[in-house]
Structure 1
Amino acid sequence: MPNISWSVKNQARMHRRNGDAPYDSVTNAMRYWPETATAVAVRLGDDGRIEVNAPFGLADLFQLKLRPGPSFCGAKKSVFEERVRQKKWLQRYPLLEYEPDMP
């Protein structure tokens, strides 16, 4: 779909870019994602059931809360804030509740 701006990241190498230790699983990698609500993976299991992997839970996603993951609260907070500005999420999705600090 050429009309959609896609961004694909190889999680096996993202630790290098982010200055983290190598990730040992998908769940471990998602714990380093910039936003809590985007750290969600869904797949169809071998038994045909849907499997959800969400290390920060699903509450922020369902409650439309935009907040940084734990690794983007300290020194990397400006990276999170720039990401929010660059992606224009608050303009595109006016129902989002922007919470720049973790509870």
Structure 2
Amino acid sequence: MPHRAGAITVGTDAGRTVVRLRGDVDASLRDEASRALAVALTDGAPVLLDLGEVAFIDSTGIAFLIQCRRACEQTGQACTLRDVPESTRYVLGLLGLDELVGG
């Protein structure tokens, strides 16, 4: 499988902080993920994790989703996932983390 360069960007939309994950979400994005999480927690707005353009996600990417959810819980911010690829849903289910996607 060819590697698709991944990216994590943060923006705002309708009063929410939107964290978009794209391409291969893996260990190469560790620093980018840390910066994105810091930005997402800054203004206290609800956080939306958009996974609609994720081609692949490894354990580092799954850990980022969990870390973001837990950090939002600690700061009282809502955190939801949108457009979760079926392969990612499957992995979250295997790990017993269905609640991350509302399942």
Q: Do these two structures clear the TM 0.5 threshold for a shared fold by scoring above it? A: no
- Higher RCO (CA < 8 A, seq sep 6+): 2
Higher helix share: 2
Which structure would you say has the larger Rg? 1
Higher strand share: 2
TM-score by length of 2: 0.32
TM-score by length of 1: 0.32
